[in-house]
Structure 1
Amino acid sequence: MTRCRLCGSEALASVVDLGATPPCESFLAADQLDQPEPAYPLHLRVCTDCWLAQIPPLITPEETFKEYAYFSSYSTSWVEHARTFVADAVQRVGLGTDGSEAFVVEVASNDGYLLKHVVDRGIRCLGIEPSVNVGAAARDAGVPTLTEFLSPDTGSAVRAEHGPADLVVANNVYAHIPDVVGFTEGLRALVADDGWVSIEVQHLLTLIEENQYDTIYHEHFQYYTVASAIRALASGGLTLVDVELLPTHGGSIRLWARPAEVAGEPTARVADVLAREKAAGLQELSGYTEFSARVAKVRRDLLRFLIEAAERGETVVGYGAPGKGNTLLNHCGIRPDLLAYTVDRNPYKHGRFTPGTRIPILPPEQIAADKPDYVLVLPWNLRAELVEQLSFVHEWGGRLVFPIPELSIVEVKA
């Protein structure tokens, strides 16, 4: 990787090198276990000109998203997050409140987890989702969905057929596209000249501060601060007008943008977050230099715990098979001798194996059947939700283990 994908600069500095891993959502079927498995370097760098953090685009979105293992509706808290967002957005943007027909487009709409709330309100909408299997699930749920990647041409075609969108939503996708400029131009093509764009993406500030290195994986081509997001939005003719700090995914930002011609002055919250980022050193190399050492400590602490548990004859299993978990498992070199299996609510993953580490994925009921001593929670960002869901492990004295931001062993109560 020699040039920044946003500004074209060659001034790229290393942040953390996680070695080489398989794509994090390439779960293996049993008949693939004796076949070669490709692995790609996972090396995060930051551009010291525009401060966009990024990894090389070694895999394409087409390789990852045509058949996808992640279904948003399997997270209870995420569905509720979407419902609340829709209710708030209706008021903020005034969708249909003046008696006119509103139109909402969501890019990377997954299985319709968000737009179903728009449908329930009687508001016209369309999802744009590249994954064939999850897009089909959305249509089965009554959410109109186009199977396509967003590009300037796709945005123009949707606008020509359906009209401009009053609101364009792009949650947890702005990091997933290597062509930042082209994707942003696609958003601008979709949105009405007086419309709104809402983007949710993980905040690099919390990623660095909270050691959330497992959210670095090949699907995430870039990692945003508000400062770098402002520049990315401007590349497609959009201007940031407001920002919200969210707890989702360990710490995210919701970016509210409008076409540059109507944007006006940004809110005070934008200046506040920019000041926080600057104070954390994220507009100079000093803010990144210690991250690699803190990542190494997470690895050592988790491996030490797993090895000592194995030597005591205690059993450890996993909960969840998220993409982030596969970054952690591969970076730590964890195999079934240290983690017997993991479980997941998504039936698509049952009977498959984690990429690289080949850990079996079973239904959640297996935990109650086996009564392990410890449950390693891989989707640590859902901590509050999962502590409640897994409270039954107290029945046999089991405990939960959270690896991020630092190793934490939790005794749960009924």
Structure 2
Amino acid sequence: MLAPTDTAIFGETGESQLVQVSSACRLCGSTELQTFVDLGATPPCELFLAADELDAPEVTYPLHVRVCERCLLAQVPPLITPEATFSEYAYFSSFSTSYVAHAEAFVAGAVERLGLGPDSFVVEVASNDGYLLQHVVRRGIRCLGVEPSVNVGEAAREKGVPTVTAFLSPETGAEVAAEHGRADLVSANNVYAHIPDVVGFTRGLRELVKDDGWVSIEVQHLLTLVELTQFDTIYHEHFQYYTVLTAQRALEAGGLTLVDVERIGTHGGSIRLWAQRSEIAGPPTAAVAAVLAEEAAAGLHTVEGHAGFAEKVSRVRDDLLRFLLDARRDGRTVVAYGAPGKGNTLLNYCGIRPDLLAYTVDRNPYKHGRFTPGTRIPIHAPERIAEDRPDYVLVLPWNLRTEISAQLEYVRDWGGRLVFPIPALEVMD
């Protein structure tokens, strides 16, 4: 029976798509939470619609980020289970050439930093389609992917990347370690925000790593999110948003200690956390202290320092809508490039529909012929842009600006212009 704080919605199979809704912080248990930004209610960002679903209703969920007054973790309620989102997934990492290159550079750096070789073992959690571990395989290092999505895990196996289908927990971590051994390096890139049980997941990472091994985590940095108004990276798959301070606290709760940190450029600005088992970890490096000082200077080590973000978000919305309305009034055609999860947060929050944005395109064939959730904008193959020669192309995956600007260089041939909505509206010459 559901408790008063529980909410559940059941699909045709009768399986619950939601988890317990609680007013308590998922890290420290405090019930003192304050609003950071409220983006209204939207559908899950990766539930793209087929044509025969357009006349059916869509379920929406609140997208309301709150900050814990005690531990400062920024978080959304865990309204949707990871199983509902990730058992079959529309995102394939390998469609971004720059991100594959980033993964290759990470592997090369980790090999040098940790002295990995033929006798080493590397595990990646949320290994997606093998975008990273394929580089480990090529170096002759034993590896294993732990990936919950059946469809993208199969794509990894087709690349020759050994992959098990599982969600990480302390129990599954122990099972994988018992069967395959513990790892010299456990990588968890762009997943630490995707799990509602942050403490249990961290304990799972601890189970996977050797006593003297390393855990490497890449996750978007709340400092950059705030500085550059990157509100579109807020969606239901992201249950929490980290500073180094809150990530440090989350790691400690699961038996790991932060030793080093790097600021990296992926996803508009991320942090790479290097951690070890708490009983053997050394003191934090000067880099940890430096980033903590930056966060403190920006006000993010106090609840009050998070104020003002919602106002910045509304200004981005107003500027984008004004541009689209002016373009329609002037008879200009506007289409979009990309159908990322972040784009669906932007479109839904701004209320943009096909009357203002004719369509978008995406390199992922899985999305062709489908429609964006909530806003129901059609998705085509990239070639459609050259066929239609629009006046403007709104780039939704703005974090891949260099890569996509090169891909869309041909738009200049007919005088078309690229538009970037974040951190502030920019119409390229």
Instruction: Write the mapping of 1:101-250 to structure 2, written as runs, cut at 5 A.
Output: 101-250=119-268
- Matching residue of 1:79: 100
Question: Displacement, 1:309?
Answer: 0.1
Rounded Cα–Cα distance in structure 2 between residues aligned with 1:46 and 1:112: 34
Question: Displacement, 1:261?
Answer: 1.4
Rounded Cα–Cα distance in structure 1 between residues aligned with 2:190 and 2:288: 20
Find the residue that maps to 2:56 and give its secondary structure.
coil
Rounded Cα–Cα distance in structure 2 between residues aligned with 1:145 and 1:267: 34
* Equivalent of residue 346 in structure 2, options 322, 328, 338: 328
Give the aligned residue type for 1:349: K
- Matching residue of 1:410: 428
User: What do the CA deviations read for 1:303-333 (whole angstroms, capped 9, x no partner)?
Assistant: 0000000010100000000000000000000
Question: Displacement, 1:284?
Answer: 1.2
Question: Displacement, 1:71?
Answer: 0.2
Between 1:336-345 and 1:100-109, the stretch displaced more is 100-109
* Equivalent of residue 311 in structure 1, options 309, 329, 351: 329
- Matching residue of 1:29: 50
Rounded Cα–Cα distance in structure 1 between residues aligned with 2:91 and 2:400: 15
* Equivalent of residue 83 in structure 2, options 54, 62, 71: 62
Rounded Cα–Cα distance in structure 1 between residues aligned with 2:305 and 2:136: 40
- Matching residue of 2:116: 95
Give the aligned residue type for 1:182: G
Rounded Cα–Cα distance in structure 1 between residues aligned with 2:335 and 2:314: 22
Question: Displacement, 1:285?
Answer: 2.5
* Alpha-carbon RMSD: 0.6
Rounded Cα–Cα distance in structure 1 between residues aligned with 2:123 and 2:32: 36
Q: Structure 2-normalised TM-score? A: 0.94
Rounded Cα–Cα distance in structure 2 between residues aligned with 1:17 and 1:217: 11
Aligned partners of 2:72 and 2:303 also within 8 Å: no
- Matching residue of 1:356: 374
Q: After the TM superposition, which parts of structure 1 deviate over 2 Å for at least 4 consecutive aligned residues?
A: none
User: What do the CA deviations read for 1:177-217 (whole angstroms, capped 9, x no partner)?
Assistant: 00000000000000000000000000000001100000000
- Matching residue of 1:44: 65
Question: Displacement, 1:288?
Answer: 1.4
Question: Displacement, 1:286?
Answer: 2.8
- Matching residue of 1:383: 401
Rounded Cα–Cα distance in structure 2 between residues aligned with 1:68 and 1:94: 34
Find the residue that maps to 2:275 and give its secondary structure.
strand
Question: Displacement, 1:289?
Answer: 1.0
Rounded Cα–Cα distance in structure 2 between residues aligned with 1:112 and 1:144: 9
User: What do the CA deviations read for 1:227-256 (whole angstroms, capped 9, x no partner)?
Assistant: 000010011110000000001101000000
The total of aligned residue pairs comes to 408
Rounded Cα–Cα distance in structure 1 between residues aligned with 2:108 and 2:320: 40
Aligned partners of 2:259 and 2:284 also within 8 Å: yes
Instruction: Write the mapping of 1:388-399 to structure 2, written as runs, cut at 5 A.
Output: 388-399=406-417
* Equivalent of residue 347 in structure 1, options 331, 344, 365: 365
Rounded Cα–Cα distance in structure 2 between residues aligned with 1:388 and 1:12: 43
Question: Displacement, 1:386?
Answer: 1.0
Find the residue that maps to 2:428 and give its secondary structure.
strand
Rounded Cα–Cα distance in structure 1 between residues aligned with 2:407 and 2:72: 39
Rounded Cα–Cα distance in structure 2 between residues aligned with 1:35 and 1:43: 25
Give the aligned residue type for 2:36: V
Give the aligned residue type for 2:414: W
Rounded Cα–Cα distance in structure 1 between residues aligned with 2:50 and 2:77: 27
Rounded Cα–Cα distance in structure 2 between residues aligned with 1:358 and 1:388: 28
Question: Displacement, 1:48?
Answer: 1.4
Between 1:258-267 and 1:65-74, the stretch displaced more is 258-267
- Matching residue of 2:13: none
Rounded Cα–Cα distance in structure 1 between residues aligned with 2:89 and 2:283: 39
Rounded Cα–Cα distance in structure 1 between residues aligned with 2:73 and 2:141: 36
Rounded Cα–Cα distance in structure 2 between residues aligned with 1:152 and 1:310: 53
- Matching residue of 1:257: 275
* Equivalent of residue 272 in structure 1, options 285, 290, 300: 290
User: What do the CA deviations read for 1:32-85 (whole angstroms, capped 9, x no partner)?
Assistant: 111111000000001111111000000000000011000000001000000000
Aligned partners of 2:263 and 2:272 also within 8 Å: yes
Rounded Cα–Cα distance in structure 1 between residues aligned with 2:304 and 2:298: 9
Where in structure 1 are there 5+ consecutive unaligned residues? Answer: none
Question: Displacement, 1:11?
Answer: 1.3
User: What do the CA deviations read for 1:117-158 (whole angstroms, capped 9, x no partner)?
Assistant: 000000000000000100000001100000110000110001
Question: Displacement, 1:2?
Answer: 1.2
Give the aligned residue type for 1:55: V
